Amino acid sequence: MPKRVAIGIVRTDKMAKTRRVEIPRIVHHAQYGKILHRKTVCHIHDENNESHVGDTVEIIECPPKSKLKRWQLVKVLKKSTAVDLAAMRAAEKALEEQTVAPAGAPAPEAQ
């Protein structure tokens, strides 16, 4: 039997060599016919820590690697363009502190 291949989005990359990938799907309600958005969550093995949050990845089924991991990363299809605002603001603040108040200079007086 061939191995299943799926495409999903990385939602968590906090674990070493493990990613949590969500695969979106659309389901019709049996009685009412309403369209429902559901997701399947898979834990994947990422040996080289290539993927990060927001990346679109291709995964393939594999023998169990741990209690939850039954999938393996094939490749990263699209990298995320999201910006980490907290890190960016911290870097700007550190740069501002270095340029505004050099060591040994008197502080400006408030009037």
What's the mean pLDDT in 16-20? 96
Position with higher pLDDT, 5 vs 96: 5
Q: What is the mean pLDDT of residues 4-31?
A: 96
Domain boundaries, the chain: 5-100
100 pLDDT higher than 80: no
Q: What is the mean pLDDT of residues 43-69?
A: 95
Sequence-ordered list of residues with C-beta below 8 angstroms from that of 37, at least 6 positions apart, any chain? 24, 25, 26, 27
pTM of the prediction? 0.72
pLDDT category at 84 given cuts 50, 70, 90 is confident
DSSP state at residue 66? S
Closest CA to 73 of 22, 18, 14, 15: 18
Other CB atoms within 10 Å distance of the CB of residue 36: 10
Contact 101, 107 (CB under 8 A): yes
Give tens-digit pLDDT for 55-64.
999 999 999 9
- List, in order, residues 6 or more apart from 98 with CB less than 8 Å away: none
Half-sphere exposure of 87 (CA within 13 A, CB side): 3
The answer to whether the CB of 26 falls within 8 A of the CB of 17 is no
Distance between CA atoms of 44 and 21, rounded to whole angstroms?
7
Query: What is the model's pLDDT at position 102?
Result: 59
**The CATH classification of domain 5-100, taken from the options 2.130.10.10, 2.40.50.140, 1.10.760.10, 3.40.50.300:** 2.40.50.140
